[in-house]
Amino acid sequence: MEESFFAEGGVRLDVFLSERTGLTRSGVKKLVEDGQVTMEGRPVKKAGEIAKGEVVVEIREPVPISAEGEDIPIGIVYEDKDIVVVNKPQGLVTHPCAGTPKGTLVNALVYRVKDLSAINGVTRPGIVHRLDKDTSGLLVVAKNNEAHLSLAKQIEEKTAGRHYLALLVGNIKEDEGTIDRPIGRSTRDRKLMAIDERGRRAVTHYYVRERFGDFTLVEFVLETGRTHQIRVHAKSINHPVVGDVAYGKKDDFGLKGQLLHAYKLCLTHPTTGKRMEFVAPLPDYFSAVLDKLRKKTNR
Pick the residue with more confidence: 155 or 36? 155
Q: Catalytic: 132?
A: yes
Q: 34, 71, 115, 132: which one is catalytic?
A: 132
Query: Does the global pTM surpass 0.85?
Result: no
**How many whole angstroms from its chain centre is CA 114?**
25
pLDDT tier at 167, thresholds 50, 70, 90: very high
Q: Can you give the pLDDT at residue 64?
A: 58
Q: What percent of the chain has pLDDT over 90?
A: 66
Residue 33's identity, in one-letter code, is E
Are 63-157 and 158-299 equal in CATH topology? yes
Over residues 92-141, the pLDDT tens digits come to: 999 988 778 899 999 999 999 989 998 887 788 999 999 999 999 999 99
CATH code for the structural domain at 63-157: 3.30.2350.10
Over residues 81-94, the pLDDT tens digits come to: 999 999 999 999 99
Whether 1 has a pLDDT exceeding 60, the answer reads no
Q: What residues does each domain of the chain span?
A: 3-59, 63-157, 158-299
184 burial (CB, 10 Å; 0-12 / 13-18 / 19+) is: middle
Radius of gyration for the chain, computed over Cα atoms and rounded to the nearest angstrom: 22
Q: Give the whole-angstrom CA distance, residue 107 versus residue 41.
A: 30
Q: Which CATH class is domain 158-299?
A: alpha beta
Task: Name, in order, each residue with C-beta under 8 angstroms of 218's C-beta and a sequence gap of 6 or more.
Answer: 165, 166, 167, 168, 172, 206, 207, 208, 209
Fold classification of 3-59 is: 3.10.290
